[in-house]
Amino acid sequence: MFPPPVYRRAWTHRDLLSIFPPKGIRVLDIGAGWAPLQLREQDELVTTDFESEADAEVTTDVTSDWPFGEREFDLINMSHVLEHFYPNDRDAVIRNVYNSLKPGGLVFIRVPHRSSFHSRGWEHHTSYGLGELTSLCHGHNPMLPMFRCVSVGASTSLDFYGERSAPRRLLERGLSRYWRLTDKLLANVVGGIPEVQFMLQRMGEETEQRLRRDSNAYIY
């Protein structure tokens, strides 16, 4: 259910901006905190956080209140947010994220890999490896939306805005390509992976319905 090996990669901020179209896009940053996603001048950013001190445009608990419309955003960013939700709340948020994405729109998710000490703590209620989001892509669960998995990758740094050295890029490529082996063994060999990244895309309704009917469909 994962994309071909060429799409198993980690993203940096520069990488992410490089896939944006020249014209501006509308972006929602969930749990933006004090460091919202940095965009270009032509892009429109809407920020939300449950803490009023974060000075987000919308202060709300998205697990119980979703004040955004349908098909409103080209990109929804969730940076180190999903792991703080209980499973039922997480699934509700994902359904709302799906509804608020335009067809063809992307959701970019960054969470600590379960091998990292960053994934531990009483405030973390779900943990993730490189294989954890397959349930959002295979279409067998009628309670969850079905996304196209654009990419999945292991990041060896939490510094999303910094550049990666060539050796670090090579290591990330290997960890991402062999994701089953990484989750079972390699993550511990390298001393833990700080972050795992998922890029998912909302498909058109006809495409999703057709693929749900095909229990053997693989989405690339």
**Tens of pLDDT, residues 47-99:** 999 998 888 999 999 999 999 999 999 999 999 999 999 999 999 999 999 99
pLDDT at 168: 93
pLDDT at 74: 96
Q: Which residue has the tokens 């965009």?
A: 39
Beta bridge partner(s), residue 108: 77, 199
Strands (E) in the chain, as ranges, are 26-30, 44-49, 58-59, 73-79, 101-111, 147-155, 195-202
Q: What percent of the chain has pLDDT over 90?
A: 69
Has residue 2 got a pLDDT over 50? no
pLDDT at 219: 45
Has residue 177 got a pLDDT over 60? yes
Q: How confident is the model at residue 8 (pLDDT cuts 50, 70, 90)?
A: confident
Q: What distance in Å separates the CA atoms of residue 74 and residue 106, rounded to the nearest whole number?
A: 6
Indicate the pTM of the whole model. Answer: 0.91
In three-state secondary structure terms, 85 is coil
Q: Which residue has the tokens 């014209």?
A: 23
For residue 126, what are its two tokens? 């779900």
Distances (CA, A) of 14 to 25, 34, 103, 146, 218: 16, 20, 24, 28, 29
What mean pLDDT comes out for the span 6-27? 91
What mean pLDDT comes out for the span 97-115? 96
Has residue 220 got a pLDDT over 50? no
Report the range out of 1-5, 129-133, 134-138 with the highest average pLDDT: 129-133
**Structural contact between residues 152 and 4, judged by C-beta atoms closer than 8 angstroms:** no
What mean pLDDT comes out for the span 4-25? 88
**Residue 119 C-alpha from the chain's centroid:** 16
